[in-house]
Amino acid sequence: MSEKSAPTPAQGPSPIGEISQEPSAFESFLDGNQKKIVIVGILAIIGLIAYVIYDGMQDMANKKAAAAVADARTVPEYEAVSTEYEGKNAGGSALILKSQLQWRDQQQQEAIKTLEEFVAAYPEHPALGSALTSLGSYQQQLGNLEEAKKAFSDASSSGGSTSSLALLSLGDIASQEGDGKKAKEFYNTIISDYGTSHPQVKTLAEQRLKIVGVEAPTLAAPKPPAPTLTPGGPTPAATSNPVVVPGSDPAPFSLIPTPAPLVVPKAPMPAEATDPAEATEPAESTEPAESTEPAEATEPAEATEPAEATDPAESTKPAESTKPAEAPDPAEAPEPAEATESAESTEGN
């Protein structure tokens, strides 16, 4: 090889790459801003700690507020909670519960005023739709249909869990006013928009669709039932006293009048038969006309005649035979002389 063709160092092959021994740009940045980075890190840690503390305090405050709402039982207690936690969810919840107590205690206007105050002060409250639905229900029960429709309309557009109920109430009001077409629109909106999320309200809407425009049948008043007679009970409108048979149970439901009992007077007994003075005289004691008097004792006409038997004056008049004879003095009874004298005086008469 000639000298001309020998390679020179300048014409030799160049190296593929060179390894730099200088620090990289990132390392240079870290070296230049090391203090700043440390300060930023410390501040971030402090901020994170402060957020955790704040969040914990907020959580504790919310729990405390929720406990205060749960512990309240009366209207003044709910008023105190709503004032203490004004602007917070707990304060709004206290107002809703306060309105419920007022409505229960027949303070309708105060309950409506409380709900209107809640709607104006807590437009972002999670229970706004529920409060509007309650407000519409209160107005509807008081007959304020225009105010009720406005409250239900706001509740249906709030997107809350009671939106379907608000639409159902709007359909009921429309049906009540005779606007069946509008009522069907509300019911169909429930079926199409809340068919899967609110199945129970959807079922109610379907049931109402079947009766829209259907008039309720008029039923005649039922006749009063016939009175039933209960043994042992009072007899309704009895015209006479029941018949009571001696020796048997009374028949309380018999309407047969009781005839007057037939009273047969007994034959009068002669007063002379009981006279001890006449009884001692054999001649007069054996006289048939004066001792027995069969004609009067066996007289059938007087015994069977109804007029004389039913006459209370005659039936109750004591017979002559029942009149006790004058008893003689026991001291004079054994003296035969006086008894004979009395007999002789009787014969003389």
User: Is residue 118 within 8 Å of 131, Cβ to Cβ?
Assistant: yes
Which helix H or strand E contains 314, and what residues bound it? Answer: helix 312-315
End-to-end CA distance of the chain: give it in Å, rounded.
Answer: 224
Residue whose token pair is 């008049």 = 317
| Least confident segment among 101-110, 195-204, 207-216, 276-285 | 276-285
Predicted pLDDT of residue 36: 82
Q: Same domain for 165 and 147?
A: yes
Structure tokens at 316: 């109750």
Question: Alpha-carbon distance 94 to 97, whole Å?
Answer: 5
Q: Does 225 have pLDDT greater than 90?
A: no
Q: Does 41 have pLDDT greater than 90?
A: no
**Domain of 166: which CATH number?**
1.25.40.10
Answer yes or no: is 152 within a domain. yes
Predicted pLDDT of residue 18: 57
Residue whose token pair is 């004792």 = 297
Q: Does 120 have pLDDT greater than 90?
A: yes
Answer yes or no: is 284 within a domain. no
User: Is residue 174 within 8 Å of 186, Cβ to Cβ?
Assistant: yes
Answer yes or no: is 67 within a domain. yes
Per the prediction, the chain carries an average pLDDT of 73
Answer yes or no: is 23 within a domain. no
The closest of 78, 138, 130, 76 to 111, measured between CA atoms, is 138
Predicted pLDDT of residue 57: 81
Answer yes or no: is 134 within a domain. yes
Q: Same domain for 115 and 178?
A: no
Domain range enclosing 42: 36-126
Predicted pLDDT of residue 122: 95
Confidence of residue 50 (pLDDT cuts 50, 70, 90): confident
Last residue of a domain, one of 212, 247, 265: 212
Q: Same domain for 53 and 109?
A: yes
Predicted pLDDT of residue 121: 95
pLDDT greater at residue 297 or residue 249: 249
CA atoms within a 13 Å half-sphere pointing along the CA-CB vector of 57: 6
